[in-house]
Amino acid sequence: MTIEKSLLKWYNFNKRDLPWRKNTDAYRIWVSEIILQQTKISNGKKYFINFIDKFPTINHLAEATEEQMAKDVVTFLMWSAEPHLEARHKMGFRAIIYLTILTILVYFSMKKIWSRVESEV
């Protein structure tokens, strides 16, 4: 048996039912990657489901207000925090940076796309 087949066999036997594995949407996978860099899977699952319920697409995320994003980041930091590990708090700061950058990029991308669409109409 090849290494590839052995790994796939092991994975199929041991895989966990995780919400981000239920589809191949790049946005959901990206969100799960950011969340899982900051916390344990057990905490990440809860936050992922909550986040995707609020912002099911990148367009919904782009339309979020700063207040909505700030509230969600604080919620995430509370879920991901482990009191005995001060480094967790520093890592949580990275999540804020990632989400801020994503929001800015999405906002300007959507603005650019809509300005093109409006000028063509």
CATH of the domain at 62: 1.10.340
33 labelled catalytic:
yes
Structural domain includes residue 3: no
DSSP state of 23: -
List Cβ<8 Å contacts ≥24 apart for 110-114. 110/59, 110/62
Query: For the chain, what is the domain count?
Result: 1
Check 4, 33, 82, 118 and give the catalytic one. 33
What sign for the dihedral angle of Cα 95, 98, 104, 107? Answer: negative
**Domain contains 116:** yes
- 16 backbone φψ class: left, alpha, beta (φ>0; ψ -120 to 50): beta
5 inside domain: no
Indicate whether 23 belongs to any domain. Answer: yes
Q: Are residues 28 and 20 in contact, defined by beta-carbon separation less than 8 angstroms?
A: yes
Per-residue pLDDT of the chain (121 residues; tens, 9 = 90+): 788 888 888 888 888 888 888 888 888 888 888 888 777 787 778 888 888 898 898 888 888 887 887 777 777 666 665 554 555 556 666 777 777 777 777 776 776 666 665 666 5
pTM above 0.85, yes or no: no
Asked whether residue 87 is domain-assigned, the answer is yes
Residue 102 lies in a domain: yes
Question: Residue 12: inside a domain, yes or no?
Answer: no
Rounded CA gap, 15 and 31, in Å?
Answer: 20
- Owning domain of residue 58: 19-120
